[in-house]
Amino acid sequence: MPLPKFCPARLPFAVAAALLSAYSWGAGDGVEQVDLPTVQVRGIGKQTTSNYTIPTSSAATGIRLTQRETPQSLSVVTEKQMDDQGLDTLQDVLKQTPGVFHSKMGNNVSGHSQFISRSQAIDSISVDGAPKFLYDSKAIRRGTNNLDSTLYEQVVVVRGASGLSNGGMGEPGGTVALERKKPTAKPAVSVEAGVGSWNHYRFVLDANHPLNADNTLRGRSILVSDHGGDYLPNTSRHNHTFYGILSYDLTPQTQWRVGTELHRFRNNGSSPFSYLTVAGNRKDGFKPFESSPRNNSSARWAYGKDNSAEVFTSLSHEFANGWRLTGDYSYLTGKSDIVSGIAGAFVIKPDYSALFTSDRDRSKYRDQDFSLILDGDYPALGRSHEFNAGISYQGNRENLSFYGDSESTIPDVRRFDGNIAKPDMPYLRDGFADMKNLSVYGSTRFKLTDKLAFIGGGRFVDWRYRYNTDRNKFAYSSHKQKVFIPYLGVTYDLDDNLTAYASYTTIFRPQVRNLTKEGVALEPQRGKTYETGLKASWFEGRLNASASVFMNKRDHLGVEAGKFPNGEDYYKAVDNTKTKGWELAVGGRLSDKWLLNASYARSKIKDSEGKQLNASYPVHLFKLFTAYDVTDRLNLGANVNWQSLTHTLDDGYPENINPAAAAALTQRPYATLDLTAHYKIGKSTRIGLDFENVFNKRYRPMPDIHVYGTPRSLTATLKHTF
């Protein structure tokens, strides 16, 4: 029998009907009650203090499912793992996530970070279930170097397209889902102090306490102060973060939360990028140069400032039948001021002379996010099934101030030490970028048998984007699109520990700020993604393993095709691209004393002629972290990261290229080793030592940029819980 035709225009009415139905089920006197069988709702999962897993997550489908029940690859980094490995920032967390490659452009103080999964950038992020997609990847690039992981009880990375849960847009590489810490009824105060290489100082205060006698009002506050330099000389950073949240039980069924996040970031002597590893170009020939991997190509007077403040609130009510209605709202405002001065940012001439470019970027930004979500269980065919529906709105506005650029010549970039006069950078004019995204969505998990379950859903997206910046020479540009994104998945329990799964969804990724050589915006990426695999779970979910195979097909993929005279990239659209790969992962507790996280990922993207794209991303990734309780007080751990060869020229090297230049544009396979040690003093105090890059391996995350990975470093921490 043919399936009924779906009309996206009916989806808002379906959601409205579901919301009204839920209200009628939970209403009081004067409303006819509907008798339904008692059903159970899974609550929000909490990790234990002794493992690296969580019971459930909604990051992939919107429905809270166990990892085995989710028909898609996902990885969980818990508070326990972040604490054990000394993962202080979101950047640190993502570097250790299975299947994720860290592409760094610049240093640890102000450099941009990009994270790659399945040969594509991760460019969407959510906090407490609310999508916070920022079109030009600033949510990932700007945030990861400074965003402190202490605020989060878990970080979930969904690999592959996840339009059902991330606002309907984004690369098919993956989505990052952050869940902030919440107040609890049990009072607890912890203080952590740390010192490390390059004058690194860190202080963390985490205070949680009930605020009334019956524990219906609870509060939690976190203060982080992080200061220090970097392995590059003449750099420093000063970061401050405050997080506060109140939780109030209005009734046993109704809970209200309100909170705030405040961030103040400062850095000196650092610019976002660094110089190239070779001189020359494809036309004139490449020529390598020798320079210390610790050289800083930034002017000493360069700086960056970023201040932001967010307020958020959430109201949830559980009806008598177990269904839950949740409304969330957040408002964020901030401003930034970045003054850059970089030697050899775009081209280094064969005689090693290079342009010194300076610029200033100031902006004010404002983000608003709203969501209304209904979820619960419903009975059918003698079984209980899950349902989720909602509506979400995202509004991002950025007002940009532009200044005149300045250029001069550095005679020999190899000898540049940052001492150069600061040029005038006069104010020119303002621009803006404005994005609005309204979407309505729904999904259900329907169990046909005790072993077989289907997941189906969809999201209707109304996306609008306007901008007027130097990128389009301050011409007004407006774009809008309405799109429906379906999601289909199936799981089958082969036995009590093993589940087979498959999933399908579509890809929609706007890229209007990627301009062609003619200055025309690229069309949105469109495509399909498929995934199938096996998942296993043992010891009541404390140990999980997975094996997956995936394929993405896309049209209109934006690929760098050259540079404008001002150094900005222009792009071309490539159709009929395919990304194929497979992944293996295991994580959790092997015994009461032994923790393990291991993964292997292979991924390659090719065009219609079979030629590899994005060759600067590794095809193979292997990650291993293990920790063992040697005694009741001493815990030792080790972390290994390995990646395969990368190079910078997607279309291959010229036939007559200098072998030394080819080597400079290639990063050979490499591995790094990190070690951790933690010792408990009494019941409430712990000393920690974290060694990063123990063997001081020299490597370049981006083969064409003169930026090396972090050298050997040591951090010592002391944590006390009252």
Could you read off the pLDDT of 615-655 as tens digits, one per residue? Answer: 889 999 999 999 999 999 999 999 999 999 999 877 778 88
- In a 3-state reduction of DSSP, which class is residue 370? strand
Q: Is pLDDT at 548 greater than 70 in this prediction?
A: yes
Mean pLDDT of 306-332: 95
Q: How confident is the model at residue 168 (pLDDT cuts 50, 70, 90)?
A: low
Residue 44 is predicted with a pLDDT of 34
Residue 230 is predicted with a pLDDT of 83
Structure tokens at 557: 């993929």
Q: CA distances (Å), 633 to each of 49, 636, 720, in order?
A: 15, 10, 14
Total-model pTM: 0.87
Task: Round the CA-based radius of gyration of the chain to a whole number and report it.
Answer: 26
Rounded percentage of the chain residues whose pLDDT exceeds 70:
89
Q: In this predicted model, which residue has the larger pLDDT, 90 or 203?
A: 203
Residue 424 is predicted with a pLDDT of 93
Q: How confident is the model at residue 172 (pLDDT cuts 50, 70, 90)?
A: confident
Tell me the C-alpha distance between 428 and 431, whole Å.
Answer: 10
Q: How confident is the model at residue 34 (pLDDT cuts 50, 70, 90)?
A: very low
Residue 434 is predicted with a pLDDT of 92
Tell me the C-alpha distance between 99 and 74, whole Å.
Answer: 10
Q: How confident is the model at residue 144 (pLDDT cuts 50, 70, 90)?
A: low
Phi and psi at residue 397, to the nearest 5°: -125, 130
Total residue length of the chain: 722
Q: Which residues pair with 222 in a beta bridge?
A: 206, 243
Residue 564 is predicted with a pLDDT of 80
Tell me the C-alpha distance between 675 and 24, whole Å.
Answer: 57
Reading across the β-sheet that carries 120-121, which strands appear in turn? 100-105, 112-117, 120-121
Q: What is the pLDDT of residues 649-701, one digit of tens each?
A: 777 788 888 888 888 889 999 999 999 999 999 889 999 999 999 999 988 88
CB 216 within 8 A of CB 248: yes
Residue 136 is predicted with a pLDDT of 52
CB 75 within 8 A of CB 585: yes
Establish how many alpha carbons lie within 13 A of residue 327's alpha carbon, considering only the half-sphere containing its beta carbon.
Answer: 5
Tell me the C-alpha distance between 91 and 671, whole Å.
Answer: 19
CB 231 within 8 A of CB 198: yes
DSSP state letter for 705: B
Q: Which residues pair with 53 in a beta bridge?
A: none
Question: Is the dihedral angle over the CA atoms 60, 111, 664, 294 positive or is it negative?
Answer: negative
Residue 51 is predicted with a pLDDT of 59
Q: Got the DSSP string for 615-636?
A: TTS-SEEEEEEEEEESSSSEEE
> Is 447 exposed, middle or buried, given 0-12, 13-18 or 19+ CB atoms closer than 10 A?
middle
505-520: buried (b, 16+ CB within 10 Å) or exposed (e) per residue?
bbbbbbbbbbbeeeee
